[in-house]
């Protein structure tokens, strides 16, 4: 069913990780890290925040696109920088244009939906396991960026506009993210279940990060501080990504050894 359009679409090796428990844990941590890091940098200096956010995003994405195969460090560095930049985009639009969170959430939802529709109509699939062309890879990262911005706006919408606070918002999105998993077990299309869960990881992680980091207020912060929450998240992410990279190399070595043993000798 999948199809490639246009002569400029070149096959590339699959450059996304296997989806399992470790994937979801790291993904949620990157969302919280992106929220805390963006807020911390913005509080220190807006120019510094822009340089780190935009520059880091550009460098990380360029590095990911230039890679010829999946690499845990390269991939998750790109996700982390998308998390930081996506938060800045969502917050920047809200502040600069004075748009309510309900409006920005709707706008990002519509933009993400438009990319999904274009991706599916042009490629015939939204599965991350089929990201083996340059065009699909670009569509994937555009979708990831928009889901981060959407999740940021949605988390702020529930915490501030709807007055749920950070902790209640985290509980809400924590419960919501279980739904696609259960629905998948009951027969929901796995690609649909994946992307619904993927979108929900953003407001879940960001709500937890805000609950830990923000000052005591009606929204319910514990006042740990954005900097400490960002640093702690980075350390956890680094440890898990190092484990994923090591496990991936060991698995590749074992598969290569098994392939050599199974090759008949003439």
Mean pLDDT by 10 residues, the chain (266 residues): 36 74 95 93 89 93 91 95 91 86 93 95 90 90 92 89 92 95 94 94 92 82 92 96 82 51 50
Query: Cα separation of 74 and 235, whole Å?
Result: 16
Specify the pLDDT at position 264. 53
Specify the pLDDT at position 47. 87
Hunting for tokens 């998308």 — which residue is that?
82
Which residues partner with 11 through β-bridges? 133
CA angle at 31 for the pair 73 and 84, rounded to the nearest 5° = 75
Specify the pLDDT at position 69. 86
* Cβ(17)–Cβ(72) below 8 Å: yes
CA angle at 118 for the pair 120 and 203, rounded to the nearest 5° = 85
Specify the pLDDT at position 7. 34
pTM score: 0.86
Q: Which residue stretches of the chain are H helix?
A: 21-44, 46-50, 56-66, 72-97, 101-123, 134-156, 165-185, 190-213, 226-262
* Number of neighbouring beta carbons within 10 Å of residue 77: 21
* Number of neighbouring beta carbons within 10 Å of residue 166: 25
Specify the pLDDT at position 130. 85
Specify the pLDDT at position 207. 92
Residue 218's Cβ-side half-sphere holds a number of Cα atoms within 13 Å equal to 7
* Cβ(226)–Cβ(213) below 8 Å: yes
């Amino acid at each position: 069913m999948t199809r490639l359009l246009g002569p400029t679409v070149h096959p590339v090796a699959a450059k996304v990780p296997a989806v399992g428990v470790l994937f979801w844990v790291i993904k949620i941590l990157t969302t919280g890290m992106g929220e805390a890091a963006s807020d911390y940098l913005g509080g220190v200096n807006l120019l510094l925040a822009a340089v780190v956010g935009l520059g880091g995003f550009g460098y990380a994405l360029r590095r990911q696109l230039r890679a010829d195969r999946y690499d845990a460090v390269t991939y998750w560095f790109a996700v982390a920088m998308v998390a930081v930049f996506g938060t800045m985009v969502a917050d920047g639009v809200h502040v600069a244009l004075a748009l309510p969170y309900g409006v920005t959430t709707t706008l990002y939802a519509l933009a993400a939906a438009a990319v999904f529709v274009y991706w599916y109509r042009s490629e015939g699939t939204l599965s991350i396991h089929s990201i083996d062309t340059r065009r699909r890879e670009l569509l994937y990262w555009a979708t990831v960026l928009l889901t981060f911005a959407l999740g940021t706006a949605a988390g702020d919408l529930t915490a501030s506009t709807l007055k749920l606070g950070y902790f209640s918002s985290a509980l809400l999105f924590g419960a919501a993210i279980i739904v696609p998993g259960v629905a998948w077990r009951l027969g929901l299309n796995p690609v649909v279940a994946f992307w619904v869960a993927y979108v929900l990881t953003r407001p879940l992680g960001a709500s937890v990060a805000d609950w830990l980091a923000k000052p005591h207020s009606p929204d319910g912060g514990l006042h740990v501080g954005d900097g400490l929450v960002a640093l702690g998240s980075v350390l956890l992410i680094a440890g898990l990504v190092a484990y994923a990279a090591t496990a991936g190399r060991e698995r590749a070595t074992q598969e290569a050894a098994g392939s050599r043993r199974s090759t008949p000798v003439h």
